[in-house]
């Protein structure tokens, strides 16, 4: 296993330890004054229960997104034949969900083709979730327009 | 509409993920499912045993990268009780199948759809009929 793989797996193990342990480490982190104030205000508005919780969750969310993207990108680089089409991933994402894409597979194909043209790097960077969300957002819009354009029955 | 999709692998899917062949159609299907699953992705520990997935083995590096130890779903006391209850309702179901459905039930509590990727659709579907989560059972072929 190459060193980068070791580091990625170590990062994944560190994240899974977050769920298993309540152990904390005090650390001094300098953050921009504006960001500090923004987090304080957001916690007062109910975003999270404390400054620490807000910053911890934001950091954890960002790390988990990074890990997923990196893992997928490295896998696709190592095994190019495993790369699915964006349309296939979108169809799978909505199966059983009730999303408009389930009843409008043609719109999923159309939107996925368009997004794939705009985001050809989606697989290389592992940014699958961002690309799928963009496709499904377009599908909802297109399906809504199609429903409005349908002539009303007498 | 935000769509959240979770994933649970059975032993056939886990075994396919361990493949290190340059090209592997089954592994590609598992990877597609992982890519589609933006929620939690889970491998019951009983599944790993059945599939021969030793996380300390070098050949597991690729699989570990996609589904790290955080994806392991341990068969604890509560899960074991639930698996026994489900197996009583579907007598033909295996221990592994029951742990897969228990894992799906747990993930489903967070909302969203749970996909179970399996080679044993009839038994898994029969088990899943007894849980309240929104489960989609997909054949790995």
CB–CB contact B28 A89 (8 Å):
no
For residue B65, give both structure tokens.
């990268």
Q: Whole-angstrom Cα distance, residue A115 to residue A134?
A: 7
Q: What is the pLDDT of residues B41-86, one digit of tens each?
A: 999 999 999 999 999 999 999 999 999 888 999 999 999 999 999 9
C-alpha to C-alpha distance for A132 and A27, rounded to whole angstroms: 37
Q: What is the ipTM of this complex?
A: 0.94
pLDDT tens profile A54-75? 888 888 889 989 999 999 999 9
Distance CA A94, CA A103 (A): 10
Contact A96 B136 (CB under 8 A): yes
> Hey, are the CB atoms on A92 and B24 less than 8 Å from each other?
no
Give B135's DSSP letter: E
Mean pLDDT (chain B, rounded):
95
Using an 8 Å Cβ cutoff, are A112 and A86 in contact?
A: yes
Mean pLDDT score, A33-58: 89
Check B66 against A75: CB less than 8 A apart.
Answer: yes
Q: Say how far apart CA B110 and CA A64 lie, in whole Å.
A: 17
Cβ-based contacts under 8 A for chains A and B: 94
Count of residues making up chain B: 141
CA distance linking residue A103 with residue B105, whole number of Å: 26
Question: Do the chains contact at A97 and B3, CB–CB below 8 Å?
Answer: yes
Question: Measured between CB atoms, which of B5, B61, B68 is closest to A12?
Answer: B68
Distance CA B61, CA B80 (A): 29
User: What integer pLDDT is reported at residue A5 of this predicted model?
Assistant: 63
Mutation choice for B interface testing from A11, A15, A75, A123 by most B CBs within 10 A: A75
H-only helix segments in B3-120: 11-17, 25-36, 45-51, 61-66, 77-89, 95-108
Angle at A41 between CA A39 and CA A45, to 5 degrees: 110
* Closest alpha carbon to B128 in B94, B102, B110: B102
Q: What does the DSSP assignment read for A115-139? A: HHHH-TTTTTTT-HHHHHHHHHHHH
Q: What is the DSSP string of A39-67?
A: HHHHHHTTSSSSHHHHHHHHHHHHHHHHH
Backbone angles phi, psi at A33, to 5 degrees: -55, -45
Closest-CA distance, B47 to chain A, in angstroms, reads: 19
The secondary element (H helix, E strand) that includes residue B41 is strand B41-44
pLDDT tops 60 at residue B40: yes
Interface of B with A in 86-105 (CB under 8 A): none
Q: How confident is the model at residue B3 (pLDDT cuts 50, 70, 90)?
A: very high
* b (16+ CB within 10 A) / e for B74-106: ebeeebeebbeebbeebeebbebbbbbbbbbbb
pLDDT of A1: 44
Nearest residue to A1 (alpha-carbon basis) of B119, B55, B27? B55
User: Measured between alpha carbons, how far is B35 from B65 in angstroms, rounded to an integer?
Assistant: 13
B22–A15: do the CB atoms touch at under 8 Å? Answer: no
* pLDDT score at A13: 82
Residue A109 confidence class, pLDDT cut points 50, 70, 90: very high
Q: Does pLDDT of B126 surpass 70?
A: yes
A1/B61 CB distance under 8 A: yes
Report chain A residues whose CB lies below 8 A from the CB of B133: none
Contact list in B for residue A1 (CB cut-off 8 A) is: 58, 61
Q: How far apart are CA A82 and CA B55, in angstroms?
A: 21
């Amino acid at each position: 296993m190459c060193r980068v793989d070791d580091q990625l797996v170590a990062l994944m193990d560190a994240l899974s330890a977050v769920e298993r342990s309540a152990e904390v480490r005090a650390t001094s982190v300098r953050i921009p004054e504006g960001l500090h104030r923004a987090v304080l205000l957001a916690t007062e508005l109910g975003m999270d229960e404390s400054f620490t919780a807000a910053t911890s969750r934001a950091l954890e969310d960002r790390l988990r997104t990074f890990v997923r993207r990196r893992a997928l990108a490295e896998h696709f680089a190592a095994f190019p034949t495993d790369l699915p089409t964006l349309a296939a991933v979108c169809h799978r994402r909505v199966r059983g969900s009730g999303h408009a894409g389930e009843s409008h597979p043609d719109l999923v194909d159309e939107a996925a083709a368009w997004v794939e043209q705009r985001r050809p790097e989606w697989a290389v960077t592992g940014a699958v979730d961002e690309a799928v969300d963009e496709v499904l957002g377009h599908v909802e819009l297109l399906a809504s327009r199609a429903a409005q354009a349908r002539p009303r029955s007498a | 509409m935000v769509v959240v999709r979770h994933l649970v692998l059975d032993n056939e899917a886990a075994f396919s993920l361990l493949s290190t062949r340059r090209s592997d159609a089954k592994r590609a299907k598992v990877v597609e499912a992982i890519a589609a699953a933006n929620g939690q992705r889970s491998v019951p520990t009983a599944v790993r045993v059945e599939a021969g997935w030793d996380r300390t083995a070098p050949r597991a590096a690729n699989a570990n990268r996609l589904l790290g130890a955080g994806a392991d779903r341990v068969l604890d006391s509560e899960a074991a009780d639930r698996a026994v209850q489900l197996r009583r309702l579907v007598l033909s179901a295996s221990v592994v199948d029951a742990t897969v459905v228990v894992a799906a039930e747990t993930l489903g509590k967070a909302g969203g759809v749970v996909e179970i990727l399996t080679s044993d659709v009839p038994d898994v579907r029969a088990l899943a009929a007894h849980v309240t989560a929104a489960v989609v059972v997909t054949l790995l072929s």
